[in-house]
Structures are given as C-alpha cells and as structure tokens.
Amino acid sequence: MNFEFSQLSTSGAIAATLTLLAGLAIWSIFLSVPKAFNYPIYGVEDEKPTELMRKFQQHADILLTEAYKKFHGGIFQLYTPDGLRLFLPRKYAQELKGYDREQLSGMKALADVSIEKIEVTNPIHLGADEKQRHLGHYTTIDHESPYMLNAIKLDLNQKLGQFVSVVQTEVAHVINTTFPPCEDWTSVNLNDLLLRVISQASARIFVGPSLNRNEEWLKISEKFATDVMLGAEKLKAWRPIFRPIAQYLIPEIRRIQADHEEAYQLLRPILQAREKAEIDTSIDGKRHNDMLEWIKTRATKNNDSSVDFREQANIQLLTATAAIHTTRLATLHVLFDLAARPEYIDPLREELQEVLAETNGVLTKQTLTHLKKLDSFMKESQRHNPPSLATFQRKILTPVKLSNGLELPTGVIVQCNTSVLSEVPENWGDPYSFDGFRFYKLRGKPEDAHKYQFASISLESMEFGLGKDACPGRFFAMNQIKIILAHLIFNYDLALEKPEQGRPKNFMFEVNVLADPTAKLLLKRRA
C-alpha cells in the first residue's frame, strides 16, 4: 500500500513538473513582447547570429571597433551571448547620467533578467529568450543593499585617511610573508599574490581585524566571485525554462549557497560578541570602525531588523566580489605596463622618495594625493586597459527618450561603446600612444589640478562609470593600488621575464579586458 502510494506520488510529481515546465514555456513566449529598434546589427550580412555570439566572447574589442567605423560612431546592435544588445555612443551617457538608481540601474543591468525580443528591419534575429549577464536570481548578486552602498559612499569615503596606515600594514604583511625572497632576479606570478594582498587589506576595513587574516574567510571572499562568474556562464547554456532545474546540476551554482552559509558561520561569532559587548557593560564595548559596524548602525537608525547576521554575510560577499578582483586586475595592468616601460621606474621612485621625505617615511592620505606622476601612470594604464570596453551599462527601469528620438522602454539594457581611444580632447595629445605622464602634464593648470586624477570621471574617462551610479568604491581602490605600487616600487626592481615579447597580452572575455593570469614578471629586492 505504501509502495503503491509512493509510485502514485512520484508519477504525480513528474506530471506536475512537466505541466509546470510547459506552462513556463508558454508564459515566456507571451511575455516576450517584440520591441523594434531600427538600428543596424553589425555582421549579420556575413555571419550567422550564433557565430557572432561566439566571436563576441573573445573578440568583442574587434567587433566594437569595426562597428564604430562602419556606422560612423552612431548607435548599433551586436549579437552577444546575452542576446542582441544596443550600443550607444558615449555622448548619450551625458543625457542618462542624471537618472538615479531607481530609474537606470547598473546593478540590475549586470544581474537581472531582461525579458524582451529585439527585432529590426533585418529579418535575422534571435527567438524570444531571456537576456542577462550573470543570472543574478541564481548567483545571488542581484541582491542590492542601500546600507552597503551608503557604507561605501559615506562612511568609507569619508574615513579614507584613517585607513591608509592600516592598509599599508596589511600590504607589507602579505608581501613579506607570501612573496619569494627575490634576493636575485626571480620569476614571479603576481596574479594570485596580488589577490591575497588586496583581499586581506580590504577585509581589514570590511570585517575588521578579527577576520581579515583568517584563511577560511580570505579563501571564501576570493572564490565567491569565481563561482558566480563560472556558474552564470554554465547556466546561460541552458534554456530559461530549464534553469530552475539546471541550477542544481552545476557545481559552481551549488557552491554559491555553500559560500553564503560558510560566510555566515564565520561572521556569526564575531557579530554575536559585538552584540554581547553592547549589552554587558562589564565588557569593554569599544566601537568598531569597519563596514560591519557602519551597516549595523545605519540599519538600527532605520529600525530595520532585516539586517541580521545572514544579511551581513550576504553583503560582505557582494562587497568582496565588487572590490577585490577589479582592484587586482587594475594593479596587475599597471605592473605589466611599468615592466614594459622601465624608463618610468626611476621618475616614479624619485617622486615617492620626495613625498615620503616630507612625512618621515610615513604614507598618509595627503601623501598619496601628492603622488601625481604615479596617479597619472595608473590612469594611462587604465585608459589602455580598461575594466570594460562597454561602460555605463544600465537597465532601463522607467521609460527614457533620448535627444535623437530613440525611446528606451522599461526592461531594455543599454551600454556605451567606450572602446575608442581617439574620442578624447585634442589637448590630450596622441590618443593611441602610451604616455605615462599624460595626465600629470594636463594637471599643470591650477583649474585642472583635480580634473585628471585616477578616480576622476568624465565623458572621456568613463572607466568607473558616470553620474549617480558611478563606482562608489573607486577612491578606496585608488588608495589601495597606490599603496601596493609604492611598496613594490620602493622595495623591488621589476622587469619583463620575456622582454623580446613585450608587455603580456590581454585576454578578452566579452567586453571585459583581462590581464594574462599566467604571465610572470622578474622581481629583485632592492638593497
């Protein structure tokens, strides 16, 4: 009797599942309302959409450049692994930058689903499907927290000066304990070493000294982003109606929940101890100065009980994902460019020595702002090796009409084609050459003293975005990179391992510009 009931239950469950999947398929078709964008699609005359999608994964830089030239800097569309996407010239970012996050969202463009079918006058187009970057519903990075944003925008940015010596201490600790001795020229892969430097220094500010050197915490904060990226790419290979099931078949997606649980278990005793210290007056309840505390304080002021220990863990994983890997890549790019152009090393070292002489060898917030040549080199490196070739990516949450008459409906994702080096003012000089002191020279006029800094944003420098939704953590990233570079320049000589091959070549992953993680540099500790 029980066996027969079990069989019936199983059959019923299977039937229900099949009915649900069929319903989802029909539902997705009816929700895919066609939207016509009468703008050309690059490449469809010569290649199939599936081929263009594959090409976009590794050669997006070529496609964007060719499309820019063919359509004379106008609006165009490209087939991407996320579907057909609309690319705007950077000038339209000026029109869109004033919208707030509730109207145009960068986070939702990265993580959310955009259910649409884009049709054009050309009859070749994709069928109705979901178009998304990282499938945020499954990877959990669609989780936005106003407390996280304000903790970075307000608390962290206002207290940057307090953390310079703290970050410097952590940077020196990791380099001294993990780098090889380098008594003579030594081949070193800096990719993983820099990841540890940045994750430990960042964790000191994010979760405090109780965890920032904890090996388990560092590993989970480093690998979570990898699970998100790989898991999303594997899940995108499945049709949308099957993804609710496929998520359980992909190891990286399954690990994401385990990552959240592990982060919670590591943070819970820290947060419990802090709560106990607040209640028990016999315990020295010294106020902590880290993101955990800032978020809790802001939530308490709003009487928001949803920010519990688990929510704190979720926020920390998202913060680490946003902060660690992008800073690591930017630092690696600078070091590759510096090793390929050794003529810059002595001037940068001299500037560092002059600035440190004014503060008895101690780095301060003011000291970092005086490293103008280093700042310029960093900005020029980022100009040639941006984190993305299509910045200002936004999901339209309220209908928008551009000055040319183009109507952008709710749900559409747009981005600006910022891959064109020549789109700069004439006074910048040759836009294609690498001039490490380009921005140092441009800052010569008093009115331009702050205009061309590494963290400054403008239509010509959109690496950190533009407008209200620009990267809030760019100032912290700038300080971290300067502190790391200052330590390495002061204490090491560096050179290319294979100078005859020039600077290590970058890799493209869709619009993302990645430094070669296998490339090595030669390091030698200075006497």
DSSP characters over 239-301? -GGGHHHHTTT-HHHHHHHHHHHHHHHHHHHHHHHHHHHHH-TTS--PPP-SHHHHHHHHHHH
What is the dihedral angle through the alpha carbons of 196, 198, 203, 206, rounded to the nearest 10 degrees? Answer: -160
Could you give phi then psi for residue 302, rounded to 5 degrees? -95, 5
Q: Helix, strand or coil for residue 524?
A: strand
Quickly count: other Cβ atoms within 10 Å of residue 228's Cβ: 26
The structure tokens 């078949």 sit at: 249
- Are 87 and 77 within 8 A, CB to CB? yes
The sign one gets for the Cα dihedral 188, 192, 196, 199 is positive
**Strand-strand pairing, 512-514 and 186-188:** unpaired
The sign one gets for the Cα dihedral 158, 309, 215, 142 is negative
DSSP characters over 399-435? -EE-TTS-EE-TT-EEEEE---TT-S-GGG--SSS--
DSSP label of 41: B
Q: Helix, strand or coil for residue 513?
A: strand
The structure tokens 């869109």 sit at: 96
The Cα–Cα gap between 238 and 256 comes to 18
Quickly count: other Cβ atoms within 10 Å of residue 270's Cβ: 18
The string over 167-194, giving b where at least 16 C-beta atoms fall within 10 Å of a residue's C-beta and e elsewhere, is bbebbbebbeeebeebeeebebebbebb
Q: Is 471 annotated as a binding residue?
A: yes
The Cα–Cα gap between 30 and 489 comes to 60
Annotated binding-site residues read 471
Binding residues for heme: 471
